[in-house]
Structure 1
Amino acid sequence: MTDKFISIEGIARRYPKAGGGDTTIFENLWLSMARGEFVCVIGHSGCGKTTVLNILAGLDAPSEGAVIVDNQAIAGPSLDRAVIFQSHALLPWRTVLGNVAYAVASKHRRWSAAQINAHAQRFIDVVGLTGAEHKRPAELSGGMKQRVGIARALSIEPKIMLMDEPFSALDALTRGTLQDEVRRICLETGQTVFMITHDVDEAIYLADKVVLMTNGPGAVIAEIVDNPLPKTRARADVHKHPLYYAVRNHIIDFLVARSKSFDKGAAYDPRNVPVVRPGAAPADVSPFVPADAGTQSNTDRASGPGFPLARERTG
């Protein structure tokens, strides 16, 4: 679907300085998302990624500009928008089942207790906490607490899932399992997702588009990477795709070098940010047939540097 489901329109966030004046974290951000898109935002700490997410969640307000979701301006928190935080943010006096069921009951007020618990149990099973339903947060490891938070957000089946590095506290095996589950659920339900991550490989695996933000203060969106990997990609095959390393190297190059020296000169138009498709190849290229190592980035308007497709092949 190609409708403009989320529209971030010229938002800025400024905070007053102790000695007077303001510090601008970011300004003049414009971004639109279609219904069912999975978008990841990557940028260095301090560029305002979490603040943008909080504005989308209705937990913060922009200093200027507006955010429109499904043709309505955001005026505060809503059960249509679920947030998965970096920390677990659980109710310490409730059990695992109680925490998830509390969210379900908030969304489905007319359901019976049996319906609520059955629905909550389904998502507890999804995140691998079967058997821990009656434990309280103090009895859980950090990773288990975060899995409860993920189950809680998934359980209300929101229009928009807002995720602030939700897998960062998990061990590698659990993180991969939950990434697979979240991706499967999003594909099956058409879930719209706005996610913050510092993990380039995670972004490539999960996202349809990767938004690259420059360093703060005064951060802007430098470009949007349109992920050329197939929508139905599988974890075991992602790194075998001939365009994988072109995408990965392009994003890493931005984070290492271009995010620090980005030129916001006269040629930069925040309303028409370049959309790049690193290593773009003809549609009939097989995902398992190596492409020409000299393939360069192709963009809709402007191009970043191209990279050999096999660069940094270390794993």
Structure 2
Amino acid sequence: MGTAPGLRLAEPASPPAARPYASVEGIARRYGAVAVFEDVWFGIGRGEFVCLVGHSGCGKTTILNILAGLEPPDGGVLVVDGKEVTGPSLDRAVIFQGHALMPWLTAAGNVAFALSCRNPRWSRARCEEAAGLALARVNLAHAADRKPAQLSGGMKQRVGIARAFALAPKMMLMDEPFSALDALTRGALQDEVARLVAEASQTAFMITHDVDEAILLADRILLMSNGPGARIAEVVVNTLPRPRTRANLHHMPGYHPLRDHILDFLLTRSSRFDAKAPPAGWTPRTPPITQPAA
């Protein structure tokens, strides 16, 4: 199938020239004889933002949990910075769907506690100072002394974002962190994350159902087929220039073909990829390349 002008695809068919910063290599999740996903390969380059898009039930959150070291895969391995992942690490920070804040601590206290775990030699004063700076970066300095029960949903997520970025992780993992928020708050936080990632040249991986969110944030978008037997079916290279914001995104040349291609995959093609009968060009046990297909 041809591609629209300005749309670049990378075929998941050949190994990359070198292992990327994070390398997911043939991972699987099985429940008895049923594989939710199997033989999943992809890489994340240092400083790259990758989004994973797919329908519910294909195993997106499980893949993120495996990246975070919260769950082991049933097959395959995950290698980050040349080392196999066997458990959680503060080098990989997670922003969850829920805010995951400790209710007995203030906003500043939640961030300061994370900083004290990351930097055990820091004094309490230094952790509190760094927490205040982190909250200021997400425009929450005025709410530093409030507990989670005194914050709106969007403010709680801002605290979670501030906490994650304050840790200065090598990789940021995001599990649909804005899905429970209203449209205006979600858009504001998406722009906030885009700014923070750009400022820190952060390596990031996000799972999402929101096509526009993926287009706004990602350098590459991984399209996952439906489960059971789900896999990475397409890799879309986002050629839209940065900086991108919610306000300017839909005016960019190439936006509509890119969006239409992803929606067409989700609405029609995602169900056609059968793990038992892979499409032409797919070779099992080989990771996707990052170069556009010829």
8 A Cα contact 2:43 2:288, kept in partner = no
**Residue pairs, 1:1-315, within 5 angstroms:** 4-16=20-32, 22-263=33-274, 264-265=277-278, 267=280, 268-270=282-284, 271-273=286-288, 300-301=293-294
Q: Which residue identity lines up with residue 265 of structure 1 in the other structure? A: P
Distance across 2 between alignment mates of 1:86 and 1:75: 23
8 A Cα contact 1:40 1:196, kept in partner = yes
Q: Which residue identity lines up with residue 145 of structure 1 in the other structure? A: K
How far the C-alpha of 1:93 sits from its partner, in A, is 1.3
Distance across 1 between alignment mates of 2:116 and 2:216: 33
- Encode CA deviations 1:14-45: one digit per residue, 9 max, x unaligned: 123xxxxx321100001011100000000000
RMSD: 1.9
How far the C-alpha of 1:3 sits from its partner, in A, is 6.3
8 A Cα contact 1:67 1:73, kept in partner = yes
In structure 2, the CA distance between the partners of 1:226 and 1:148, relative to structure 1 (3 Å rule), is: same
| Aligned position for 2:15 | none
How far the C-alpha of 1:205 sits from its partner, in A, is 0.7
Computing the radius of gyration over CA atoms, which structure comes out larger, 1 or 2? 1
More contact order relative to length (CA 8 Å, sep ≥ 6): 2
How far the C-alpha of 1:112 sits from its partner, in A, is 2.1
Query: TM-score scaled by structure 2?
Result: 0.87
Where do 5+ consecutive residues of structure 1 fail to align?
17-21, 277-298, 302-315
How far the C-alpha of 1:187 sits from its partner, in A, is 1.6
Q: Which residue identity lines up with residue 293 of structure 2 in the other structure? A: D
How far the C-alpha of 1:131 sits from its partner, in A, is 2.1
8 A Cα contact 2:19 2:43, kept in partner = no
Q: Which residue identity lines up with residue 231 of structure 2 in the other structure? A: V
How far the C-alpha of 1:91 sits from its partner, in A, is 1.1
In structure 2, the CA distance between the partners of 1:155 and 1:274, relative to structure 1 (3 Å rule), is: closer
Distance across 2 between alignment mates of 1:178 and 1:72: 32
Secondary structure of 2:21's aligned partner: strand
Distance across 2 between alignment mates of 1:38 and 1:246: 20
Secondary structure of 2:143's aligned partner: coil
How far the C-alpha of 1:168 sits from its partner, in A, is 1.6
Identity of aligned residues (%): 57
Distance across 2 between alignment mates of 1:119 and 1:143: 21
Q: Which residue identity lines up with residue 75 of structure 1 in the other structure? A: T
Post-superposition, which runs of at least 4 consecutive aligned residues in structure 1 deviate over 4 A? Answer: 272-276
- Encode CA deviations 1:226-278: one digit per residue, 9 max, x unaligned: 001113334433212221001000000000010011254362224254879xx
Distance across 1 between alignment mates of 2:142 and 2:45: 38
Query: TM-score scaled by structure 1?
Result: 0.82
How far the C-alpha of 1:124 sits from its partner, in A, is 1.4
Where do 5+ consecutive residues of structure 2 fail to align?
1-17
